[in-house]
Amino acid sequence: MTEGTTENTAEGATETGAPVAAEATCRRELDLEIPADEVSKAVERVAKEFAKVARVPGFRPGKAPLTLIRRRFADDIRGEVLQSLVPERVEKAVSEQKLMPVSQPQVETLDFNEGQPLKFKAVFEVLPEFDLGNYKDLQFEMPAMDVADEDVTKTLEEMRERAAAFAPAEGRPVEDGDFVQLKLTGTPEGGGEPLQADSVLCHIGAEETMAPFNENLRGVNVEDHKDFDVEYPADYPDAKLAGKTYHYSVDVLGIKTKKLPDLNDDFAKDVSDASTLDELKKKIRDGLEHQRDHKHRDLLREKVLAEIVKLHDFPVPQALVEHQMDVRLERVVRSLAQQGVDPRAVNIDWVSLRKRNEERAKDDVKAELIVDRIATTENIDVTDEEVEHELQHVAGHSNESAEAIRARLTKQGTLDRIKAKLRSDKTLDWLAQNSRVSTTAAGAEAK
């Protein structure tokens, strides 16, 4: 057997062992050859196996001449020979050259002729070789993320809004600020499934209310009827309405005003387990600070990732990039499904969306490879206690116990993903601790 390896670059093919330049790819090609006598033996062996079971008219099973078997089942024998010889030879060559494929080797330029050596090319991708940059001296800025009194007040107002009561407004027409109770039918222009609601509240004069509803319902009285059209913009959040025109037929059922509860101890008891308003404010602040800490941690990790990616220039396997693009599109699909939107019914150019995500997917793959290398270099690993803590955390947000989750993940073979994610996060936190981070606030920079 003879073999050789090449790697594609922007300038052409180079011999294995040459430095991997920034313009290189992770593609590898093995030119392999299996000696003619080895191929002939394999053909003979497979032909004899066929002869034992083949049914040939005029011959009892197992009695047909081998030359007839080889002629009659030539394509099948050829396929079996290739299946028995090629994968084994590729695996051996990969092992001998200490390569680590990240994609299934594909066979190209196959040359298989009777009595001749079997020649072929195995093409696959490998993990890139690269040197780590100065990752212990990262510098970047973080925005100030303090919890202010205004944030607590805003949350309190949102709680008041949710606890508001609606009272009927009688003896007058609708005014800005009122909530008009409607029975409506919306028919799409050009035909289609209508929208229907027997009782829906529309906040007149509100910023979130579309102009045609404000203009046509301001000043109406109970039992009035209105017909009007609404043109929804192309970027309207509800995909079922975006870019369409609906004709609405509306009956006014009632007019309501919203009364907000007073901010006092009774309010605190009604909306929470707090006994006083001051206690509720403290709980709100604690909750906002907890959210702030999570946002700060996530943003800090994003900044670290962005910096280490900028420090390194090396090719990444296209197979891993394709997988990462799949992951990104799956997130979009899940997000739509969580919003109650059927991804198949949304007018999205999935091909273009996938292409737009390619560069970000490359950065994702590159970041994962860099973080893994840093973790290995710095001996950063995950302990059993940290894995158990994570499983307990997951269990706290599900109906399963930590033991049941561990058993399920182990059975699915995905427990290692949890460990890998924990190791990555632990490495990013270590990098952040060893970085120089400045904080910016209101246009000023504070060290």
CA distance 227 to 231: 14
What CATH number does residue 180 fall under?
A: 3.10.50.30
Q: Confidence class of residue 218 from pLDDT cuts 50, 70 and 90?
A: very high
What CATH number does residue 346 fall under?
A: 1.10.3120.10
Q: Is residue 339 located within the same domain as residue 441?
A: yes
- The pLDDT assigned to 443 comes to 47
Q: Confidence class of residue 20 from pLDDT cuts 50, 70 and 90?
A: very low
- The pLDDT assigned to 11 comes to 34
Q: Is residue 250 located within the same domain as residue 303?
A: no
Distances (CA, A) of 233 to 237, 243, 258, 374, 409: 9, 5, 29, 48, 45
Q: Confidence class of residue 421 from pLDDT cuts 50, 70 and 90?
A: very high
Q: Does position 1 have pLDDT exceeding 50, yes or no?
A: no
Q: Of 125, 151, 178, which residue is a domain's last?
A: 125
Q: Does position 298 have pLDDT exceeding 90, yes or no?
A: yes
Given a contact cutoff of 8 angstroms between Cβ atoms, the answer to whether 308 and 14 are in contact is: no
Per-residue pLDDT tens over the stretch 333-371: 888 887 777 777 667 778 888 888 889 999 999 999 999
- The pLDDT assigned to 373 comes to 94
- The pLDDT assigned to 44 comes to 83
251 found inside a domain: yes
- The pLDDT assigned to 62 comes to 66
Return the bridge partners of 445, or none. 440
284 found inside a domain: no
Q: Confidence class of residue 42 from pLDDT cuts 50, 70 and 90?
A: confident
H-run or E-run covering 390: helix 384-395
Q: Is residue 251 located within the same domain as residue 332?
A: no
- The pLDDT assigned to 193 comes to 86
Per-residue pLDDT tens over the stretch 139-161: 989 998 899 999 999 999 999 98
Q: Is residue 438 located within the same domain as residue 338?
A: yes
- The pLDDT assigned to 291 comes to 94
The per-residue DSSP string of 182-225 comes to EEEEEEETTS-PPEEEEEEEEETT-TTS-HHHHHHHTT--TT-E
Pick the closest to residue 181 from 253, 247, 131 (CA basis). 253
CA distance 200 to 182: 5
146 found inside a domain: no
- Of 54-63, 326-335, 384-393, which range is least confident? 54-63
Average pLDDT over residues 276-297: 94
CA distance 333 to 348: 11
Q: Is residue 238 located within the same domain as residue 365?
A: no
219 found inside a domain: yes
Given a contact cutoff of 8 angstroms between Cβ atoms, the answer to whether 241 and 231 are in contact is: no
DSSP3 helix / strand / coil % (the chain, rounded to 5): 45, 20, 35
Q: How many domains does the chain have?
A: 3
242 DSSP 8-state letter? T
Give the range with max mean pLDDT: 62-66, 179-183, 438-442. 179-183
Q: Is residue 225 located within the same domain as residue 317?
A: no
Q: Is residue 321 located within the same domain as residue 433?
A: yes
Contacts of 299 (CB under 8 A, 6+ apart): 142, 143, 145
Return the bridge partners of 298, or none. none
9 found inside a domain: yes
Q: Is residue 241 located within the same domain as residue 311?
A: no
- The pLDDT assigned to 108 comes to 85
Q: Does position 418 have pLDDT exceeding 70, yes or no?
A: yes
Q: Does position 5 have pLDDT exceeding 80, yes or no?
A: no
Per-residue pLDDT tens over the stretch 78-118: 888 888 888 889 999 988 888 888 888 888 888 888 788 98
What CATH number does residue 76 fall under?
A: 3.30.70.1050
272 found inside a domain: no
- The pLDDT assigned to 283 comes to 95
Q: What percent of the chain has pLDDT over 90?
A: 47
289 found inside a domain: no
Q: Is residue 425 located within the same domain as residue 362?
A: yes
- 41: domain range? 3-125
